[in-house]
Structure 1
Amino acid sequence: MSLQTIQKLLDKEVQNRNKLYELSYEKPDPLLVASKYKDETIALICALFAYGNAGQIVKFLDTLDFSLLESSEKKIKKELSSAYYRFQKSEDVIALFIALKRLKEIGSIEDIFYEGYKKEQNILDGLWNFITVLKKSYSHQTYGYRFLTGTIPKKVENSGTYKRYMMFLRWMVRKDSLDMGLWSKIDKKDLLMPLDTHTFKMSHKLGLLKRKSYDMKAVIELTETFKKWDKEDPIKYDFALYRLGQEKIEI
């Protein structure tokens, strides 16, 4: 199958998937929960816990009381004392809520990302700035918390995919029937592919990606492939590609 044929099929898939009914408890996705609130901080929490089984992710997110972000730190510690999800113990969930509560008092998540991004319109520079500010807002050192919030790599090209952050940015920057488009300062043409195992496998299967390693180099390569199809909005293919892989659909 030629790349031109694959592009036509994926363009059609993007159009068909860009429907609200793609987000439901029958077809779970963390965006289902994030969409209920239309809030950047709640959306980030939903994105950072988006690893593992999609149904279990949504089930966990539905147990969280996001109004705690407006409560005292003492109340956050009390109310989340039994909250946990996979690698995150209650202390890690509490730490994230407190850190994000403190950030809200400093400024918006968008502005923190933009501060790093604006120099060279580089999404990763924006991410490194955000992670730096997040860590400073509340110091908490555990494996579960580091896994949840991420760290700044020594060598970007050898780093992981930062899929959960890239997905969050897609939700915030793009605007369609699925993505919320709550931000205005970052250009969607600069977004990077939120590469997960489903999109990674599908991209190889369709001949869109040559790199065998699941890392940032693969993210950039796949993004560049999609830029050849749509340089202004390359990441529009993410959700459709993800669903095709998740549902094991042949095209």
Structure 2
Amino acid sequence: MNRAQLKEYLDAKVEQYNVPDFIPHDPIQIPHLFTSKKDIEIAGFLVATISWGNRKSIINNSNKLMELMDHAPADFIINHEPDDLDRFDGFVHRTFNSEDCKTFIRSLRNIELEYDGLENAFAKAYLEKNHLQHAISRFKEIFFEIEHLPRTQKHVSDPLKNSSAKRINMFLRWMVRQDNAGVDFGIWDQIPMSALSLPLDVHTGNIARKLKMLKRKQNDGKAVAELDTYLRKLDPNDPVKYDFALFGVGVFNDL
């Protein structure tokens, strides 16, 4: 396929997979339980953080997190007392354990108090260089301003160290992308959709290579940059809409 044919093909796949029926099968279903902006973004951030591995396990553990926060994540983050964190003892998702979880809760509270929330923290970082991958790296510094165990740092990726930062890029897609289909939330307006990067994973990487959109073999930060360049030529305003196409084709063997 030439580029025009590939764009037509991928646009059709976006129409096929960027639909409300996507929600019940994806971790994005958890922040969709809420209606307030603060609940959506805090739930979304925590869910995105543990979104690796088996999807059923991700969704089950995300529901456990919401239950532990009394299904009111924003209120819990802001108003919890230190003793309230004891309820997270025993929580684990793969290598994300209870101490990591408690650190994330304390950090999110610090971000609410010191930066007036996640959107402002990310926007402040983005405006330094108008480059989202730089912003993610800067956000990691902000996130770990509080006292923390060194082990917990691995749960926030740093693109400037060549990480694909798949989970944070996915979270930012959820928050920033204006989605007429109602899957992504589009509740942040300080970062443009055009700046978003694809949440690169095994499925999207493999399909991008089969379609000759990506040459790099590793799913790392350099591969994200290469794929971003290609996707922005297909749609400079909404390049990450193609995440639905590449992911759907990969998961459902629809190529």
Taking structure 1 as the reference length, the TM-score comes to: 0.90
2: distance between equivalents of 1:121 and 1:85? 33
Quote the offset at 1:227 in angstroms.
0.9
In 2, Cα distance between equivalents of 1:20 and 1:138: 40
Q: Residue 107 of structure 2 aligns with which residue?
A: 99
Give matches, 1:70-85, under 5 Å: 70-85=78-93
Q: How far apart, CA to CA, are the structure 2 residues paired with 1:201 and 1:244?
A: 10
Amino acid at match of 2:8: K
- Describe how 1:1-251 pairs up with structure 2 within 5 A: 1-24=1-24, 27=25, 29-37=26-34, 38=37, 39-64=40-65, 65-66=68-69, 67=72, 68-106=76-114, 107-142=116-151, 145-150=152-157, 152=158, 156=160, 159-176=162-179, 177-250=182-255
- Unpaired runs of 5+ residues, structure 2, are none
My pick for the range that moved more, 180-189 or 96-105, is: 96-105
Tell whether the 8 Å contact from 1:115 to 1:129 is kept in structure 2 after alignment: no
More helix by share: 2
Judged with a 3 Å threshold, the aligned counterparts in structure 2 of structure 1 residues 48 and 238 are, in CA distance, closer, same or farther, namely same
Asked if the contact 2:50–2:96 (Cα under 8 Å) also holds between the matched residues in 1, the reply is no
Calculate the aligned-residue CA RMSD, in Å: 1.6
Q: Report the Cα offset of residue 2 of structure 1.
A: 3.0
- Paired amino acid for 2:80: S
Structure 2 CA distance, aligned partners of 1:223 and 1:114?
20
Deviation at 1:5, TM superposition (A): 2.1
Look up the equivalent residue of 1:199 and give its one-letter code: T
Query: Taking structure 2 as the reference length, what is the TM-score of the superposition?
Result: 0.89
Alpha-carbon displacement from aligned partner over 1:72-131 (angstroms, at most 9, x marks no partner)? 242432111121111022111111112112221222111111112113311022212211
Structure 1 residues 73 and 92, CA, compared in 2 at 3 Å: closer, same or farther? farther
Alpha-carbon separation, structure 1, partners of 2:208 and 2:165: 17
Identity of aligned residues (%): 29
Asked if structure 2 preserves the Cα contact closer than 8 Å seen for 1:112 and 1:126, the reply is: no
> Number of matched residues?
241
Please say which of residues 124-133 and 46-55 is displaced more in the overlay.
124-133
What is the rounded CA distance, in whole Å, between the counterparts of 1:109 and 1:240 in structure 2? 28
Compared with structure 1, are the counterparts of its residues 75 and 30 closer, same or farther at alpha carbon in structure 2 (3 Å cutoff)? farther
CA displacement at 1:21 relative to structure 2: 1.2
- Quick check: 161-170 or 88-97, which moved more? 88-97
CA distance in 2, matches of 1:197, 1:217: 15
Distance in 2, Cα, partners of 1:236 & 1:15: 10
Give the letter aligned to residue 149 of structure 1: V
- Return the offset for 1:70: 3.6
* Unaligned runs of at least 5 residues, structure 1: none
Secondary structure, aligned partner of 1:136: coil
Q: Is the 8 A contact 1:98 1:138 kept in 2?
A: no
TM-superposed deviation, 1:196: 0.7
Query: Do the aligned residues in 2 keep the contact of 1:18 with 1:178 (CA within 8 Å)?
Result: yes
